Amino acid sequence: MAQGIEGIEGFDTTAVAMAVAPLDTAAAADPSVAGAKAANLARAAAAGLPVLPGFVLVAADRAPDAPAGAGAVRAAWEQLAGGTAGPAPQEAREPAALVVRSSSAHEDTEDSSMAGRFDSVLDVRGWDAFTRAVRQVLDSALRVAPADGAEAGHPLYGMAVLVQPMLQAAAGGVMFGADPVEGRYDHILVSAVAGGPDRLVDGSTQGVRYQLTRRGRLLHTEPAQPHGTGPLDRRKLAQLVRLARRTESVHGGPQDVEFGFDPAGRLWLFQTRPITAMASRSPRGARLLGPGPVAETLPGVLQPLEEDLWLAPMNQGLALALDIAGAAPRRKLRRLPVATAVDGRAAADLRLLGAVPAAHPVLDFVNPAPGARRAAAAWRVGRLRTALPLLARDLMADVDRQLHNFAAPRHMLSGELLTAVAWGRTVLASLHAQESLAGALLDADPGSTAAGEALAVLAEGRAGGRPDRELLRRQPVLLALLPPSLGEHPDLPERVGWNGVPRGVGFLSVREGLRLRIRWVQEMQAAMVREIGGRIDTHGPAAERGRIAQLRWRELMAVADGGPRPADLAERLPRPAAAPLPAAFRLAADGRPQAVRTGRGTRGAETGQGAGGGRGTGTAWHGSEPRPPHPVLVVRTLDPALAPLLPGLAGLVAETGSVLSHLAVLAREYGVPTAVGVPRAVERYVPGTALTVDGVTGVTGAVGHSGEPAPGGRPAPGQEPETSPAPGSPGGRVGATGPGSPAGPVRTVPGPRNPGGPGEDAFPGGDPPPDGGKGLGTGGDSVAAADGPADPSSAATGVPAAAPVPPPDAGGAAQGKGAAA
């Protein structure tokens, strides 16, 4: 530091005077004097907890009653170290090793641990080494110097120095009196190594992780240890559980504790501080959600109007399909949404759709539905296996015909535009219902996929020298490669390999044909809404222009009927891009998704340990090259020197280290998704790799070109989608809407194209889809004014439903089964 420390030989005597406060004094127990670390230990020692003796060096003006000056500091050191001044006889005992630690007013608080930000020096022997260690600790205060406040003008910036004997520990580690990663106050988390805890907290060693109940029952050990091995036995674990409960009682809450066992087996408390950054825990009975069954249809962040136009009909169609198949009780479908939005992204109830295995293997073979409902469902399903292909053909022909008959949006009256959008909401529910049933019931369904056909069309068109814009206008099947949006289209895939020759949409399987119609109807709605928005903007203030996507459907209908615009429309901002949702999660009390593990298998060899911070997606960065946008720092060890890099990280991945290390604690406080113990992370994730980090499950993985996780995202260009089903897509289950379910047989009957007819501009992708020549049987021109999904019975599916299913409401828990045959 610029100023020396009076009272320590070799320091500038014009500097701040230091006083000595033993741990058993009132000054040491005052965090404003001795800092939080020393004060916490002083309180613990006063309560009878096993704390090593020691003293605290503080600014003399903070402890006027404490002995101060060079003599007091030298005397305290000699008493603790048992050393001698000057030359000593040969038989004199060598000074004992000490540990010199920081105790700042800014660390170990309830708001921030500042873990690892200040220096501590271990195994300090001799007076000269002691003075150097004190100087090093005091100098580290400059790293986090306050800009203002009470400590800003103080030469030590609120720093004190804690001095204790250095214990040669046989085993040591870190213990959390609650599980900060899973947000569980009924669990205790211990991470331990042979020797002292310093190798664990600095991130150089991963250690053994123990998860226990508050009564001391061992729940889990990671990595698994043979019986009687590992740094801690059952007796030591029982001692730690008692220590966790006692420190919580003394300090008024679960504590983050550093501990060590001496060679005689006695437990010592090295440090205690409040646990920071506790994860929110899902309420009991919270539903298991996930994007897998629905993210293929709606992969991006939905704006409010997109949610009402596209997610609400999907929810309605899935509920109808589940009811027809008898896969879920009707009362549950009335109460719970099958598909919902979380952070603007589409997610579905995984239990309700049967997309995850039951908690016990036997339950996979048990259908809890009442016998009468099972019998009725089996009768309907039996009829549907035969009738569904014909019903789907009729529905697709109706949709093709109606889309073909729409005039260009600019030539339509505003009321006609709204009627077209409302018809789209109604027919989307029908399409989603039949598409879901086709995936569950049609076991043998030869035919190509829409994405495969689109890739073949794109490759052939580019080979002929046609620009993408023209191809997209002339070949609406290319919309299968683009997500729906009320905004601008993203670019088509740049590199497309050989995908065979295009055969035409008439050769698609039943399910793929239905999915393509879903995409066409969404594109028609987007064109109509953009036209409506332009007309509304001409009559509104400049601050409210371009905000139609921020309206809800009910608000848009009210404005169209001459009602006032929402008062806060000018302040509504588009929903920002958010990280992809976890594969399976439950909503915490604060509404944030908390990832959970599903299934009964063991984790993959390349999965690490989740250290908290949620879930994030970004670009791999090793720290030495230029920092990219949204960097995910990938390192071999959790070096505390990396702490300045944490703000702004999208994730942190380490090959070694503990979830309780200093850097992992800081990462949780910054909200950085962190995974440790990820094998070969540096080699696997080279700089520039797009990857996702899940701080709960410890799963890391590269993501596809669209920013979604590669396993569940859209197939890469040149890759046949049907050979790459999305994990978690419930193939053969009612409600599956991704590529993982079997595609159905029956080809639609293509009609003649009309490249220049009146339907061309009504279908913004270009030419209208083929006209199947069938009459419209999907609800006609009725305008649905409801904000949420309409009554499923109002959607014409051509499928025998036992009774109407009212629109499900949000909230509640769902524990359902998959489709029952």
CA distance 166 to 522: 69
Max distance between CA atoms of the chain, in angstroms, equals 110
CA angle 734, 736, 740 (to 5 degrees): 125
What does the block give as tokens for 522? 């969404």
CA distance 507 to 447: 6
State the CB neighbour count (10 A cutoff) for residue 811: 11
Within 382-449, strands assigned E span: none
CA distance 805 to 817: 18
Residue 560's pLDDT is what?
Answer: 87
Sheet of 171-176: strand order equals 218-222, 208-213, 187-194, 171-176, 255-261, 267-274
CA angle 755, 760, 765 (to 5 degrees): 100
Residue whose structure tokens are 């007076």 = 127
CA distance 52 to 275: 22
CA distance 204 to 122: 16
CA distance 735 to 819: 9
Contact 459, 453 (CB under 8 A): no
CA distance 590 to 594: 10
Residue 117's pLDDT is what?
Answer: 74
Residue 51's pLDDT is what?
Answer: 96
What does the block give as tokens for 576? 């920002």
Whether the model clears a pTM of 0.75, i.e. scores above it, the answer is no
What does the block give as tokens for 317? 């169609």
What does the block give as tokens for 206? 């991963």
Using CA of residue 305, residue 309, residue 310, residue 312, what is the dihedral sign? Answer: positive
CA distance 33 to 21: 9
CA distance 732 to 735: 9
Contact 662, 202 (CB under 8 A): yes
CA distance 475 to 458: 9
| Helix, strand, or coil (residue 7) | coil
DSSP per position, 77-109:
HHHHH---SSS--TTSPPPPPEEEEEEETTSS-
Residue 722's pLDDT is what?
Answer: 34
CA distance 103 to 36: 6
Residue 743's pLDDT is what?
Answer: 33
CA distance 381 to 162: 74
Each as own residue / partner, the long-range contacts of residues 618-626 (CB below 8 Å, 24 or more positions apart, any chain) are 618/649, 618/650, 618/651, 618/690, 618/691, 619/650, 619/687, 619/688, 619/689, 619/690, 619/691, 620/653, 620/685, 620/686, 620/687, 620/688, 620/689, 620/690, 620/691, 621/687, 622/682, 622/687, 625/687
DSSP code at position 51 = B
* CA nearest neighbour of 783 among 519, 557, 531, 529: 557
Q: Which residues pair with 587 in a beta bridge?
A: 593
CA angle 43, 47, 52 (to 5 degrees): 70
Spatial CB neighbours of 692, under 8 Å, sequence gap ≥ 6: 579, 580, 615, 616, 617, 651, 699, 700, 701, 702, 703, 709
Spatial CB neighbours of 220, under 8 Å, sequence gap ≥ 6: 209, 210, 211
Residue whose structure tokens are 């929903």 = 575
Strands 615-621 and 631-635: parallel
CA distance 277 to 282: 16
CA distance 198 to 270: 11
Q: Give me the average pLDDT of each 10-residue run along the chain (821 residues).
A: 43 64 94 91 96 94 89 93 52 78 76 67 93 90 58 65 94 93 88 90 83 92 81 94 96 94 96 84 83 82 96 95 84 89 92 70 48 59 82 95 96 96 97 89 72 87 91 92 89 74 88 93 97 91 92 94 90 88 82 70 56 88 92 82 79 77 70 85 89 88 54 34 33 41 34 35 46 36 36 37 37 33 26
Residues in the chain: 821
Spatial CB neighbours of 167, under 8 Å, sequence gap ≥ 6: 52, 196, 260, 262, 268, 270
DSSP code at position 311 = I
| Helix, strand, or coil (residue 243) | helix
Q: Which residues pair with 716 in a beta bridge?
A: none
Q: Is 524 exposed, middle or buried (0-12, 13-18, 19+ CB in 10 A)?
A: buried
φ/ψ bin of 285: left (φ > 0), alpha (ψ from -120 to 50), beta (otherwise): left
Spatial CB neighbours of 227, under 8 Å, sequence gap ≥ 6: none
DSSP code at position 744 = P
Residue 640's pLDDT is what?
Answer: 61
| Helix, strand, or coil (residue 113) | coil
What does the block give as tokens for 371? 């016998």
* CA nearest neighbour of 275 among 777, 743, 612: 612
